[in-house]
Structure 1
Amino acid sequence: MRLERRSAVGPDRVWVRSVHHLPSGAGHRGLVVVLPGLGLPGYTLPTAEAVAARGVECAVLDVPGFGSAHPRSSRPDIEAIASVARHWVLEQAGRRPVVVLGHSTGAQAALVTVLGLQSKRRGVALVMAGPTFRPEHRRVAQLLASTPLAYRLDRLGEIRVKEVLRARVDLVRMVRSGLRDAPESKVAGLAAPLTVTAGVADAYAPSAWLDLLASSAVRSVGTRTSLLAGSHNNLYTHPHEVAALVALAMDDALAWA
């Protein structure tokens, strides 16, 4: 079952839209929270549905808010998105174990989210899927050259045009924020379990970049790297493979409770 909620969170009580896929029956007591790439939630919904099919509730956060006509919930940058997501988890997840799954620029925001959560609660794990802007790609020319290869097994129809039209120039602001970020440095402070993954044909996130992120997480209680089928947008094209990996991360969250 799918439903939408709006929740006021954080000290400023900003309204956050979330799209929930609920398991049939009793399900698992855990919660998977998804932070989409570039703030475009629509393409992540197949993975949310696949997670729910495995018996776990999955909530896609529409932050900064490109997925609807409601007022924005944050600025279009990594730190602001992470702040809203952190407050959402603290106020909405209760005592449930949580996996924060971020994809693309959402992986960068998910890392900052979990860094802020781990001092306030246990029972949380991080999945960085298709993490963007490895050091070589922080130069625009090299990033643009890799983009056709990153999406080589994807189609334009996987992205919802209405979301892009709502975002407009804020997509550029999102990219600029990601380019200023250095997740390979930030991940050194991560204590929570970490899974790093990408599609095997994703030129944004080759295995060397995944390995660097995992090896840099020197404080983490456990790390995992995994190459799955597809290219950059495999949350849409191979949702069941992603959901199976998220299930392993949920086990990690339970073990770290």
Structure 2
Amino acid sequence: MMKKYLTFTVKAFQRTLTYRFELWMELFINVLFMLVYVYLWKALYTGRTSVEGYDLNRILTYIVVSQTLLTFTFTLRIARIIEEKVRTGEVVTDLMKPIDFQLMTLATAAGTSSHTALFNMLPKFLLFYGAFGLSLPPSLLTVFLFIMSVVLGYVILFSIEFIIGIFAFWLVEIRGLYAFVIWGLAMLFSGYFLPLEFYPDFLAKVAAVLPFRAIIYFPTAIYTGQLIGESLVTALLIQLTWVAVLVGIGRLAYRAAFRKLVIQGG
């Protein structure tokens, strides 16, 4: 059964391989941006040994890992892809196929993201690890839990984007909603800009009730050792809960959209 979805993953991966120039340009720009960010933090730590439990090495490791995960997660554009399919009518063909539209969309996204992981994330991390002597996880178990957390965070962001994309069945366009949720709320509360420990109390409390910290902050904090023991287990349970909730909402939204399409006769 899963073989047909793997086909979408492989095709998406192969399709992305054709954009070699765009790949190198994106990597080059990402590296430049990360260099600026790293040297900014080095300057901010001048004369300081630690801030909110982060010494210079740990904060640089956090910044590089979070920036790397940003490339992996926040470049999905699933919502905009679904919106375009709705606008052109291509979504009708997808929905009429004997496959699950939600799983097909996830499988396709996984193919593109696998390419990003191999040709953007990994080279970028190795470059900065070698240049700045970043920390590595203390054990193989931590590596495993980090990867698990990254996957859960990925599914959470995918599910949020999928739900926003399904709104295209009812809204003229979703650009404003997409920008507000993904480039506004998600970027602010995901821990991308800086660790959530640095946030004012009221913003930290808001972040605690939203799913966005589970996308970047949790996996990055696991990698850096900021989350250990009970707090690590709690973080993974929170991620699993958000996955279940958001995947479920996405499925309900998808079924409602399908019924709307059937009632209106396509």
Name whichever structure is richer in strand by fraction. Answer: 1
TM tier relative to shorter chain:
under 0.3
Name whichever structure is richer in helix by fraction. Answer: 2
TM-score, normalised by the number of residues in structure 2: 0.26
TM-score, normalised by the number of residues in structure 1: 0.26
Q: Which has the higher contact order (CA 8 A, sep 6+)?
A: 2
